[in-house]
Amino acid sequence: MAQSFARRLRVETPRWVRDGLVSAQQAERILAHYPATVSWFSRPIAVFTIIGGALLVGAVALLVAHNWHDIDRWVKLIGLVILLLAAYAGGLALRNGGYGRTGEGLFVLGGGLWLVGIALIGQLFNLSGRPADAVLLWWALLLPAGYALPSVALIVTGWLGAMVWYWMLVIDPTTWLGRDVQMNFVLGIVAVAVGGILAWALGVLHGDGEYRRARQFLEQVGLLVIGGALVPFGLFGAFGHATLGMPNVQATSAWSMSVVGLLALATVAVAVVPTRLPADGALARVGIAAAFLLVIVYLYAMVVALTTRASGPTFRALAWIDWALVFVVALALILYGARWERRSWINWGIVWIGVDAVARYVELFGTMLQTSALFFATGVFVLLLGWALELLRRRVTARAAAPPRGR
């Protein structure tokens, strides 16, 4: 039993006794059943073992590095395979022995060795290609291993690799996605927003079972990326049409099929989301998916505006729609987060509203005040807004955590 649980019991049991949930004798028996143990890393043998092991690993690494060019390629590959198998075998043994976190750490180490192996094979056999291709092969191998073990830490590492791969596709002008988005940075923002929607939808599809932590990770990354991508669109009312005249920004003369294809994929992913939401009414489960479908429709509209070389009033209208859309989706996150006890949705919904309000404030008053006055007024506004939103977050979170009242 983890020490944090035992420590928390010693804080909670007096409250249980005061509230009449358990008697003093029952509380003592509970504490005796879960005794507080000393952390393994606080024992001298653990400290000396870690230091000694690190020195041994460093010695072997220096020896291999010094003689790297003299080692046969097959010896290098066999050594890497042995390390890979040892990491996974050690992880399984430790997890079965009750050391789950240490075992997960070895699984992640094995995942890192996969990437080292891909780079090593490319070097030994002089293989050419884009860096994104190597990262694609890495996470494509890593994720099946993570779900087969299963290992949440390895799954999270795999999805992190997928996110790095996606970002490399966006910034590399030689890739199928980079070729389209490099013509206009606004298309790049659309591609990033679509990536956030896909991450959020994939997180929801993991459900509340054994992959709950993977769900939480993907949901939060997705909401962070979506919010960060939507905020710039709200500023296009001032400079959206003007960006078409910038040196590195061109009005697209043809449809960006890669971005349109990603939008279609995101539409399918969000449409499937209601099947993996908590048990509730059909209308409630469709509601949150409909909110994100509105985001996809807005992104479609932005692509159309860029492709058809829309006028300034069109971009101003899209900017106002963006401000309203951010507020609506944030409100949906707060309401559904409270309904299904998903606090991260509540937190991100409040963050979206706060960022939306600050950005809108700066847009409205940024040209009306001197720099020092603007900083002072904005600072006061942000402090008051943060205080108000924190009160709202606490109230909504408390209501979500409160037990339902009997009818």
Per-residue confidence at 282, pLDDT binned at 50, 70, 90?
confident
Same domain (yes/no): 127, 199: no
Q: Say yes or no to pLDDT of 37 above 90.
A: no
Q: Tell which wins on pLDDT, 102 or 404.
A: 102
- 231 and 317 in a single domain? The answer is yes
Any domain includes 177: no
Helices (DSSP H) in 250-281: which residue ranges?
257-272
CA distance 83 to 78: 9
pLDDT digits (tens, 9 = 90+) for 130-145: 889 999 999 999 999 9
Same domain, 144 and 198: no
230 domain residue, yes or no? yes
Residues 132 and 188 in one domain: no
pLDDT interval class at 1 (50, 70, 90): very low
Burial tier of 162 (Cβ tally within 10 Å: 0-12, 13-18, 19+): buried
CB 294 within 8 A of CB 270: no
pLDDT tens string 234-280: 776 544 444 444 444 445 446 788 999 999 999 999 999 999 998 88
Contact indicator for 329, 291 with CB cutoff of 8 Å: yes
Could you tell me if residue 172 is inside a domain?
A: no
For range 359-365, the mean pLDDT = 70
56 within domain boundaries: no
Residue 2 has what pLDDT?
41
Rounded to 5°, angle at Cα 334 from 328 and 206: 105
Q: Is 205 among the domain residues?
A: yes
Give the domain extent around 27.
Answer: 3-33
pTM of the model: 0.79
Domain assignment of residue 131, yes or no: yes
Side-chain-side CA neighbours of residue 38 (13 Å): 7
Please indicate, yes or no, if residue 407 is contained in any of the structural domains: no
Number of domains in the chain: 3
Does residue 274 sit in the same domain as residue 393?
yes
Same domain, residue pair 279 and 360: yes
Q: Are residues 261 and 340 in the same domain?
A: yes
Res 32: pLDDT: 81
Domain annotation covers residue 65: no
Domain end point (choices 161, 193, 228): 161
